[in-house]
Structure 1
Amino acid sequence: MVMVLFSLVFSGFMSPVLAENKPMVLKMVTFLPDVKPGNVWPHLLVKKVATISKGELVVKIIGGPESIPMSDTTMAVKNEVIDIASIVTVFAESTVPGIEILGLGEYSSKEIRNNGTLDVFKEMCAKAGLYLMGTAVPSDAQKMQCFFLKKEITSIDELKGLKIASPGGLQSAFIEALGAVCIPIAYPDFYTAMERGAVDGYVHGVPGIMDFGLEPVTGFMLEELFTSPTNGFFMNLKKYNSLPQKYKGYLNQASAEVDEEGAVIFNQLIDHVKKEIGKKGVKVGKFSHEESVKFYKLYRQSMTADTLKRNPDIFPKMQKIVQNPDFYRLK
Structure 2
Amino acid sequence: MRKAILFPLLVLLAVVLGRTPAQPAAAPVKPVLITAVTSWFKDYPSNDAVWELQRQLERKSGGSLKIDWKGGPEIVSPFEAVDALSRGVFHMLNTSGAYYTQLVPEVVFLDYFDGPIKALRAAGVIDFFDKINQEKAGVKLLGVVRGASGYALYTRKPVTKLEDFKGLKIRATPTYVPLIKALGASPVTMRPGDIYTAMERGVVDGFAFPEVGTMDLKLHEVYCCMIRPPFWTGRTVLLMNLQAFQKLSPEHQKLLTDTMRNIDEQWVEPHFKKLLEIELRELVTKHGRK
- The interval holding the TM-score normalised by the smaller chain is 0.7 to 0.9
Q: Distance in 1 between matches of 2:128 and 2:114?
A: 16
Pair 1:118-2:126 in alignment: yes
Q: For 2:286 and 2:45, how far apart are their aligned partners in 1?
A: 16
Task: Tell me, in whole angstroms, the C-alpha distance in 1 between the residues paired with 2:165 and 2:196.
Answer: 20
Is the alpha carbon distance of 1:229 and 1:254 closer, same or farther for their aligned partners in structure 2, counting shifts above 3 Å? farther
Tell me the SS of whatever aligns to 2:234.
Answer: coil
Q: What is the TM-score normalised by the length of structure 1?
A: 0.73
Separation of aligned partners in 2, 1:31 and 1:157: 34
Residue 189 of structure 1 aligns with which residue?
194
| 1:38-74 superposed Cα distances (whole Å, 9 cap, x missing partner) | 4322212212322333322111222111122212210
Distance, in Å, in 1 between the alignment partners of 2:271 and 2:240 is 24
1:146 correspondence with 2:152? yes
Identity of aligned residues (%): 27
- Please state if 1:263 is matched with 2:266: no
**8 Å CA contact 1:99, 1:121 repeated in 2:** yes
Rounded to whole Å, the distance in 2 between the matches of 1:259 and 1:282 is 33
Report the CA distance between 1:280 and its aligned residue.
4.9
Deviation at 1:265, TM superposition (A): 0.8
Once the two structures are superposed, the pairs formed by residues 89-128 of structure 1 within 5 Å of their partners are 89-127=97-135, 128=137
Aligned-partner SS, 2:243: helix
Shift of 1:177: 2.2
Query: Which one-letter code corresponds to 2:51 in the other structure?
Result: H
Paired residues of 1:102 and 1:228 also in contact (CA < 8 A): no
CA distance in 2, matches of 1:144, 1:48: 28
How many residues matched?
Answer: 263
Structure 1 window deviating more from structure 2 (69-78 vs 102-111): it is 102-111
Deviation (angstroms), 1:163: 1.8
CA contact (8 A) 2:80 2:100 kept: no
Instruction: Kindly indicate which of the two structures has a greater share of residues assigned to strand.
Output: 2
User: Measured at CA, do residues 125 and 39 of structure 1 come closer, stay the same or move farther in structure 2, by a change above 3 Å?
Assistant: closer
Shift in alpha-carbon separation, 1:78–1:265, aligned structure 2, 3 A: same
Residue equivalent to 2:165:
159
SS of the counterpart of 1:209? coil
- The 1:65–1:279 alpha-carbon spacing in structure 2 relative to 1, beyond 3 Å, is farther
1:135–1:229: 8 Å Cα contact kept in structure 2?
Answer: no
Counterpart amino acid of residue 179 in structure 1: G
Paired letter, 2:130: K
CA contact (8 A) 1:83 1:236 kept: yes
2:217 to 209, 212, 227: 212
Distance 1:54 1:226 in 2: 44
Partner of 1:221: 226
Cα 1:271/1:243, change in 2 over 3 Å: same
1:44 is aligned to 52
Q: Out of 77, 87, 94, which is 1:86 matched to?
A: 94
Return the letter of the residue paired with 1:265.
Answer: H
Partner amino acid, structure 1, of 2:146:
V
Q: 1:109 to 1:177 in 2, by over 3 A?
A: farther
- CA deviations 1:258-283 (Å, max 9, x no partner) are 21211111111111111233355352
Q: Which amino acid aligns with 1:191?
A: Y
Which structure 1 residue ranges, 5 or more long, are not aligned? 1-17, 285-331
> Does residue 1:254 correspond to 2:259, yes or no?
yes
Q: CA-atom RMSD, angstroms?
A: 2.2
1:120-168 C-alpha deviation (Å, 9 max, x unpaired): 00110111211011113223xxx3322122234455554344321024x
Q: Structure 1: which amino acid aligns with 2:269?
A: A
User: Following the alignment from structure 2 to structure 1, what is the Cα–Cα distance between the partners of residues 62 and 96?
Assistant: 30
Q: Which residue of 1 aligns with 2:248?
A: 243
* Secondary structure, aligned partner of 1:208: coil
Structure 2 distance, partners of 1:110, 1:158, is: 41
Gaps of 5+ in 2: 1-25
2-structure distance, mates of 1:47, 1:158: 47
2:39 matched to 1:31?
A: yes
- When structure 1 is superposed on structure 2, of 200-209 and 103-112 the one drifting more is 103-112
